[in-house]
């Protein structure tokens, strides 16, 4: 069994299991969400900055969930769209990959890309392991995030799900505006997020371009929107929004974080 070792433990989140569990429990105790959903958008910054919003994302899924998370994150390092059945090590235990679902997606299989240093997927794994101890994950790194690439990946996921019998939730890993004044980030992010109220992917891309929004995982969000609508979702509900300024007190250059549930 190949297990990927964490690259960001001790940086983005604590590497001590007890400290990490205590921190995630603290965030989850203050989180609010919906009873269940088809999928959620979750941020992937360091836990001191985005952990509370991330916890609100995972609070939208019952803790007894024991199926598979299709986890889609942007490839910051430039790898093409790919997946892999390697398992994921975290300080609080190993997250097992759903190899069957990974292989059925019909995209490039790359252990190299999964093992590489990439926070968009790794930062989600401790929360998954901690809150859903029996769940598996099918991780996808998304390369090109243009509209056509998002529609292609969504179509591949939908085709795979036609023959998939397991219980599934989708996680799109993304932060929103990067390094702009707090007031601008809040206004721009809200405007773009509103396009997801009715899971309108076309309008979402239109507003991204209009505002030149620097959301790093807009492609994964679009895939989530398309697949969740196929599964039966009718609404993208904003659960929580915050910026790094809420933690640091520096409102001149912030990063925006949003928890959005497809219900």
Segments making up each domain of the chain, as ranges: 3-262
Whether the CB-CB separation of 243 and 256 falls below 8 Å is answered with: yes
Tokens 């405007």 appear where? 191
Comparing CA positions, the residue from 81, 65, 73 lying closest to residue 136 is 65
pLDDT (tens digit, 9 = 90+) per residue, 77-120?
999 999 999 999 999 999 999 999 999 999 999 999 999 999 99
CA distance 92 to 229: 33
pLDDT (tens digit, 9 = 90+) per residue, 119-128?
999 999 999 9
CA-atom Rg of the chain in angstroms:
17
User: Which pLDDT value is given to residue 24?
Assistant: 98
Whether the CB-CB separation of 179 and 254 falls below 8 Å is answered with: yes
Chain center to CA of 122: 10
Whether the CB-CB separation of 164 and 56 falls below 8 Å is answered with: no
| Six-digit token string for 156 | 């591949």
| Six-digit token string for 216 | 């790093």
Q: Is the dihedral of CA 231, 53, 102, 201 positive or negative?
A: positive
Domain 3-262 has CATH 3.30.70.1150: no
C-alpha distances in angstroms, 116 versus 4, 74, 122, 141? 9, 13, 10, 11
Is the pLDDT at 131 greater than 80? The verdict is: yes
Other beta carbons within 10 Å of 134 = 10
Mean pLDDT of 54-82: 97
3-state secondary structure (DSSP) of residue 250: coil
The mean pLDDT of the chain is 97
Q: Is the dihedral of CA 190, 191, 193, 196 positive or negative?
A: positive
Share of the chain above pLDDT 70, in %: 100
The two beta strands, 136-142 and 68-74, are: parallel
Whether the CB-CB separation of 97 and 86 falls below 8 Å is answered with: yes
pLDDT (tens digit, 9 = 90+) per residue, 141-184?
999 999 999 999 999 999 999 999 999 999 999 999 999 999 99
pLDDT (tens digit, 9 = 90+) per residue, 218-263?
999 999 999 999 999 999 999 999 999 999 999 999 999 999 999 9
């Amino acid at each position: 069994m190949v297990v990927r070792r964490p690259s960001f433990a001790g940086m983005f989140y604590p590497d001590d299991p007890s400290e990490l569990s205590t921190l995630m429990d603290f965030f989850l105790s203050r989180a609010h969400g919906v009873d269940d959903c088809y999928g959620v958008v979750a941020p992937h910054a360091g836990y001191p900055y985005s952990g509370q919003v991330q916890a609100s994302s995972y609070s939208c899924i019952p803790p007894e969930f024991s199926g598979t998370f299709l986890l889609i994150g942007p490839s910051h390092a430039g790898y093409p769209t790919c997946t892999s059945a390697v398992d994921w090590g975290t300080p609080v235990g190993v997250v097992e990959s759903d190899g069957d679902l990974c292989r059925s997606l019909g995209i490039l299989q790359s252990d190299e890309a999964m093992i590489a240093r990439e926070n968009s997927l790794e930062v989600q794994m401790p929360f998954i392991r901690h809150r859903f101890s029996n769940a598996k994950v099918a991780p996808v790194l998304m390369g090109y995030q243009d509209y056509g690439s998002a529609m292609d990946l969504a179509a591949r996921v939908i085709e795979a799900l036609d023959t998939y019998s397991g219980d599934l939730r989708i996680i799109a890993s993304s932060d929103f505006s990067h390094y702009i004044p707090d007031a601008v980030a809040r206004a721009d992010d809200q405007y773009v997020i509103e396009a997801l109220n009715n899971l309108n992917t076309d309008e979402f891309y239109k507003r991204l371009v209009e505002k030149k929004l620097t959301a790093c995982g807009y492609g994964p969000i679009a895939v989530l929107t398309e697949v969740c609508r196929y599964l039966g979702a009718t609404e993208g509900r904003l659960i929580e929004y915050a910026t790094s300024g809420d933690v640091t007190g520096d409102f001149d250059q912030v990063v925006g974080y949003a928890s959005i549930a497809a219900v």
